[in-house]
Amino acid sequence: MKTIIEPFRIKSVEPIRMTTRAERETKLKLAHYNLFGLASDDVLIDLLTDSGTGAMSAEQWAAIMRGDESYAGSPSFARFEAAVQNLMPFKHIIPTHQGRAAEAILFGLLGGAGKRIPSNTHFDTTRGNIEASGALAFDLNIGEGRDSQSMHPFKGNMDLEKLAAFLQEHGDNVPCVMLTITNNAGGGQPVSLENIRAVAALARAHGHPFIIDGCRFAENAWFIKQREPGQENSAITDIVRECFAVADGMTMSAKKDAFGNIGGWLALNDDDLAEAARVRLIQTEGFVTYGGLAGRDLEAIAQGLSEIIDEDYLRYRIGTNQYIIDRLDLLGVPVVKPAGGHAVFIDARAWLPHIDPLQYPAQALANRLYEISGIRGVEIGSLMFGRQPDGSEKPAAMELVRLAIPRRTYTQSHADYLIEAFEMLKAEKDSLRGLKVVKEPRLMRHFTCRLAPL
C-alpha cells in the first residue's frame, strides 16, 4: 500500500480551544511577540517542540503504575538502566530530569574558561551550558548542511577536515568532541554511521573523549538504514548499537526518542568522570538511582525505548514530515530538504529576503503563522544563535522556522491545516516586518526575551 497510516489507534483525546485571529493578535502582543510567552491553551496546534510533548502508549501508562518511588535502589531504576544499556552499551548510566541537566553536569566538569568544544552543530541548551561554564562552542557542520536546498543524504555530518584542523590547533583546550544526532539546528538532518565512526577515530587519535548528543538516535538510525549504502538490511537496534559503540559517553533527553514526557540521562565509560558526575548529580538533581525523576518516569522511559525502535513507527514518523514538505514545496514555500526527522523547517531567509537577518525574519514568520492559524512554531536563527559570547551580534548560519511534530499526537488533518495556513501566509509574506529585541537575558535569550515590531 502507498498510504502510510498512523500505526496506532487513539484511545484518549484532549480538546483544542478554538480561537479567532483577533484573539491571537492580542495574545501575541501580550506575549511581547515571543511565542514562548503564549499560554498553551491559546495554541491550536503546538509545534514549538517535540520535546516531552508526545503521547504515551497504553503500555507506558501501564508501566507507570509499576513505578517504585524508593529513594535509593528502586527496581524502576534497574529496569531503566537495562533498557538504556540494551541500546547504548555504556558502563555508567546516570539519570537526570532532562537532557539539559545532563549537559550541565557534563560541562560543569569538562568545561571552563579557555576550553573549546566542537560539534556538528550545538543546539541552544548545549551551547548555553557550555558558555555558562566559560567555555566556547564551535559548529563544524559540512557545507551542505548550511544549504537548505542541498539533497545531500547526511547533511548533519561533521566536516572532518575542519575537525582535524581544529583539534590540531587547540590541542589540550579541547575537553571533548561532540556530535548531535540528528542535527537539530541544521534542519533535523542525519549523521551517517561512517561519519560517526570517523569523528570518533579523530577524537581518539588526539586523545579526546567522544560524546554523542543522542536525543533523536532512532530517527538517525532510520535514515542510516534508508540512505547509507550497506545498511539497508540492518536492524534499527543494531544500527543504534553501532552508533554508540564508538562513543565514550552521551547526553540524552528522553523527552525525544524515548517517548517520555520528562527525563534524560548522562552515560559514560570513564569511571572517574562518572564518579564526579554522580557527586554533582546528588548535589543538584537527586540520588544516583533516580536523578530528579519519579520511579514512574523511569518506567515510562524504559518502555518507550522498546517502542521507539519499531520500524512501522519510524516509517510513519518520517513519512509525516515528507508529506508536509512535499506539499509546501508545491506551494513554493522554501523548505529544508531532504526531509529531516522530527520537524519541518522553513527557510525564512529565502522566503523573506526583504527582512535583514538581524531583524529576525524567522521570528516574524513564526509570529504571523500563529496569528493566521493558531499554530506555534519556533525560530532557529539569529534570535536563537546570533548573540555572541562577547555581547556582539551577527547573523546565524541559517534563518529557519522549525515546526516540530510531537510524537503520536496529531493526525493528517492537522498536517493539512498547516499546509492551508501557508497558502494564506504566501499572500501576506511581503507585508511582514522585522522585529527588535527590547529586553533580553545574558544567555539563551530566545526563551524569555521581549520583542517589538519594527
Instruction: Write the pLDDT tens digit of every residue in 297-332.
Output: 999 999 999 999 999 999 999 999 999 999 999 999
**C-alpha 5 chain-centroid distance:** 25
Start-to-end C-alpha separation, the chain: 50
Class of domain 58-307: alpha beta
pLDDT of residue 442: 85
Which residues does 3 contact at the CB level (< 8 Å), separation at least 6? none
Please report the pLDDT score of residue 147 as a whole number. 87
Q: Where are the domains of the chain?
A: 21-50+310-453, 58-307
Statement: residue 1 has pLDDT above 80 = no
For the segment 43-50, the average pLDDT, to the nearest whole number, is 95
Higher pLDDT, 248 or 215: 248
The whole-angstrom separation of Cα 353 and Cα 371 is: 21
3-state secondary structure of 144: helix
Give the span between the Cα atoms of 9 and 216, in whole angstroms. 24
Contacts of 111 (CB under 8 A, 6+ apart): 117, 129, 130, 132, 133, 134, 135, 175
**1-5, 19-23, 242-246: range with lowest mean pLDDT:** 1-5
Report the pLDDT value the prediction gives residue 307, as an integer from 0 to 100. 96
The Cα–Cα gap between 365 and 360 comes to: 9
CATH topology of domain 21-50+310-453: Aspartate Aminotransferase, domain 1 (3.90.1150)
- Structure confidence at residue 444 as a pLDDT band (50, 70, 90): confident
Q: What pLDDT score was predicted for residue 124? A: 79
Mean pLDDT for 343-362 is 95
**What angle (nearest 5°) sits at the alpha carbon of residue 404, between those of residues 80 and 324?**
125
| Shared fold status for 21-50+310-453 and 58-307 | no
Question: Residue-wise over 162-176: b if at least 16 C-beta within 10 A, else e?
Answer: bbeebbeebeeebbb
- Provide the grid cell at 314: 519510524
- Provide the percentage of residues in the chain whose pLDDT is more than 90: 86
Q: Residues 138-170: pLDDT tens digits?
A: 999 999 988 888 899 999 999 999 999 999 999
Crossing angle between the packed helical segments 193-205 and 160-170, to the nearest 10 degrees: 20
**Residue 384 is inside which H or E element, if any?**
helix 382-385
Which amino acid belongs to residue 295? G
Distance, in Å, from the CA atom of 95 to the CA atom of 73, rounded to the nearest integer, reads: 13
For residue 354, the model assigns a pLDDT of 97
C-alpha 76/C-alpha 257 separation (Å) is 19
Is the pLDDT higher at 188 or at 36?
36
* pLDDT band (50, 70, 90) for residue 216: very high
pLDDT band at 184 (very low <50, low <70, confident <90, very high): confident
Q: pLDDT band for position 186 (50/70/90)?
A: confident
Report the number of secondary-structure helices (H) and strands (E) in the chain.
16, 14
Q: Per-residue pLDDT for 19 more than 90?
A: yes
- d(CA 300, CA 287) in angstroms, rounded, equals 19
What pTM value is reported for the model? 0.92
pLDDT score of 175 more than 90: yes
* Between 4 and 368, the higher pLDDT residue: 368
As a whole number, mean pLDDT of residues 259-279 equals: 96
The confidence score (pLDDT) of residue 443 equals: 82
What is the reported pLDDT for 434?
95
Q: Given a cut of 90, is residue 340 above it in pLDDT?
A: no
Instruction: Tell me the C-alpha distance between 117 and 273, whole Å.
Output: 17
> How large is the angle between the packed helices 75-87 and 236-245, nearest 10 degrees?
90
Whether residue 125 is predicted with pLDDT greater than 90 in this model: the reply is no
Residue-averaged pLDDT of the chain: 94
Share above pLDDT 70 across residues of the chain, in percent, rounded to a whole number:
100
Q: What is the dihedral of CA 39, 293, 101, 448, to 10 degrees?
A: 10
State mean pLDDT over 166-175: 94
